[in-house]
Structure 1
Amino acid sequence: MAVNEEHIYSPGYRLNVNNVQIYYEYYDHEDPEAKVVVLVHGFLSSTISFRQLLPYLTKKYKVIALDLPGFGQSEKSTSFIYKLTNYGQLIIDFLDQLHIQNVILIGHSMGGQICMHAAKKAPERIKKLILLGCCSYVKRASRSLIACSYLPLFTWGMRSWIQRKDVKQNLLAVLHDTKLVTEEMIESYKKPISEAAFIDSLIRLLRHREGDMCSQELKDIQQPVLMIWGKEDQVMPVKTGYRLKHDLPNAELIVYEKCGHLLMEEKPLEICNEITRFIEQDEQKAANQKETS
């Protein structure tokens, strides 16, 4: 992918993918053969959630981080159908437009489910998956709640709920180390959810989002999968990680002590080291076999 050198660390780019404006950041690498990793954020989040991980990953790889439709700086589309499978297809179409063939996907929380959908759709292009506190086994919203979402007062109620949400308290709930929560961090995470149209996107996601993949569907994902979990994760308890490891044919699970759901903020260096080991292990095995042959 040709990117002007002076724009490597620019604030970001915009790309029209299936009539939706997508915001993304691209970090080039001096090695033209460096692998490409794509970062996919979770629910109520954006590229900001990878801010601590990026400085480590960009030393080793070409890195792309994007805001999903409805989140961050991407379009709050009224035409996009906010289903996980459609998000997965959008990742593939996004890569098509950038003329990128082979990537490793890294997904946090809901982004992990989206990465798995992309992996099922394009197994020849998605070489490996890295799932961080991956959202799993969540069912679709009830019919009654979906029906209520069409009532005139529902949007007002949702907007009031978002306005009342204390970003600081939310961050404290997803982090084990509460000392990490600073005013700068609060402002960084508050900005992407402050846009008025964000509420409408959340309502569409509530209506459209299907349930997470079931055990049988997960067995179809044949790529190597690295799962990393925080033992103190209160959003997706670690027992979910063990269940997911059982259902995925080719997965390993690493659990960090004293770490919550937003583990990229708490363990960025450790996560990057595990990611590097996981990505490079095939090459290392091949090199070892060559030496012994």
Structure 2
Amino acid sequence: MIKQDVAFQVNVNGIDVYYEYHQNPQSDKTFVLLHGFLSSTFSFRRLTPLLKEAYNVLTIDLPPFGNSGKSHQFIYSYENISKTVISLLDHLNIQHIVLAGHSMGGQIALNIMKLRPDLVAKGVLFCSSAYLKRIRWPVALLSYIPFFHLYVKLWLTRSGVKNNLENVVHDIELIDDEMMFGYLKPFLNDDIFKALTRMIRDREGDLSRQALRKITTPCLLIWGEHDRVVPINVGERLSKDLPNNDFVVLEKTGHLVPEEKPTEVLHYIKDFLTK
């Protein structure tokens, strides 16, 4: 019998981290799911129920997103966020994980594989961010201007939740009120915009090709054929740079792979785990 699902918040590495831990006593494998930019654990709402039937599943709101802390003092670099995830795993005494990351979460996952290869048995990358450079210094400099966070808020408000979702899914019929509110909810707290302003100047560039080529963790790369956010050519390039990987393309799928094709994703993951 699967234990009751639980949600927690704990302070690690100087910031409150929200996580949901679904434990399955019949499994010795633990999936750790990391969401993308401007998202939260909500983005795995269709995949988590499938995974937890066979595995332990830990989903994390990466700071400053979702229900996690939005401190102005926390360093929101990918390396420090990765160290925060590692600290949480150490706190929970979880090891030998299957680490899955979507978009920005994929880049965080790669950083964790680089920092702690002993911690990750296998990796799953959904349309992972890769090869992005550090933000240009004039923009980083502007982020120090008082009330710059209001510009960030205005930019996100003007783009709109519905427009953003239409950009990340292939079939817009998937977009309903529940989906729109789920992605909007974390941004009803104004502190997120101040934290995002800090993230603008803290985020370093994605891992270099040289760093990627040193990651030997077996990885499954799953891409949407019609991904407009991280195009398929990025996945093809990443597949060439990672020494040990399988590359899968899902037809009629956009960027939000875990939302759009959870059943297909589960099939490929199970096949990957048997190798």
3-state secondary structure, aligned to 2:57 = strand
**Aligned equivalents of 1:168, 1:214: Cα separation in 2:** 33
**Aligned equivalents of 1:129, 1:230: Cα separation in 2:** 17
**Aligned equivalents of 1:259, 1:239: Cα separation in 2:** 15
Which residue of structure 1 aligns with residue 115 of structure 2?
121
Q: Do the aligned residues in 2 keep the contact of 1:34 with 1:60 (CA within 8 Å)?
A: no
**1:152-192, CA deviations, whole angstroms, 9 ceiling, x for partnerless residues?**
24222112222223101111110001110001111111101
Residues 29 and 170 (structure 1 numbering): CA distance in 2 closer, same or farther, change over 3 Å?
A: same
- The reply on whether 1:17 has 2:2 as its aligned counterpart is no
Which residue of structure 1 aligns with residue 95 of structure 2?
101
Which residue of structure 2 aligns with residue 131 of structure 1?
125
Give the TM-score of the pair, scaled to structure 1: 0.91
Tell me which amino acid in the other structure corresponds to 2:114. K
**Aligned equivalents of 2:173, 2:235: Cα separation in 1:** 26
**Aligned equivalents of 1:35, 1:79: Cα separation in 2:** 35
3-state secondary structure, aligned to 1:169 = helix
Structure 1 residue 236: Cα displacement = 0.3
* Counterparts of residues 48-197 of structure 1 (less than 5 Å): 48-197=42-191
Q: Which stretches of structure 1, 4 residues or more, deviate above 6 A after TM superposition? A: none
Q: Do the aligned residues in 1 keep the contact of 2:22 with 2:58 (CA within 8 Å)?
A: yes
Q: Do the aligned residues in 2 keep the contact of 1:176 with 1:260 (CA within 8 Å)?
A: yes
**Aligned equivalents of 1:155, 1:149: Cα separation in 2:** 8
Q: Do the aligned residues in 2 keep the contact of 1:70 with 1:77 (CA within 8 Å)?
A: yes
**Aligned equivalents of 1:210, 1:263: Cα separation in 2:** 25
3-state secondary structure, aligned to 1:227 = strand
Which residue of structure 1 aligns with residue 252 of structure 2?
258
Tell me which amino acid in the other structure corresponds to 1:158. V
Which residue of structure 1 aligns with residue 22 of structure 2?
27
Unaligned ranges ≥5, structure 2: none
Tell me which amino acid in the other structure corresponds to 2:274. E
Structure 1 residue 79: Cα displacement = 2.4
3-state secondary structure, aligned to 2:274 = helix
- The reply on whether 1:272 has 2:273 as its aligned counterpart is no
Which residue of structure 1 aligns with residue 196 of structure 2?
202
**1:11-53, CA deviations, whole angstroms, 9 ceiling, x for partnerless residues?**
x11111122111000101131x420010000100000000010
Match of 1:44 among 33, 38, 41: 38
**Aligned equivalents of 1:258, 1:194: Cα separation in 2:** 32
Give the TM-score of the pair, scaled to structure 2: 0.97
3-state secondary structure, aligned to 2:32 = strand
**Aligned equivalents of 1:90, 1:153: Cα separation in 2:** 28
Work out which of the two has the higher radius of gyration on C-alpha atoms and give 1 or 2: 1
**1:253-289, CA deviations, whole angstroms, 9 ceiling, x for partnerless residues?**
10011100001111000001111111232xxxxxxxx
Which residue of structure 2 aligns with residue 216 of structure 1?
210
Q: Alignment RMSD, CA only?
A: 1.2
**1:225-251, CA deviations, whole angstroms, 9 ceiling, x for partnerless residues?**
100000100000000000000000001
Q: Do the aligned residues in 1 keep the contact of 2:150 with 2:193 (CA within 8 Å)?
A: no
Number of residue pairs matched? 274
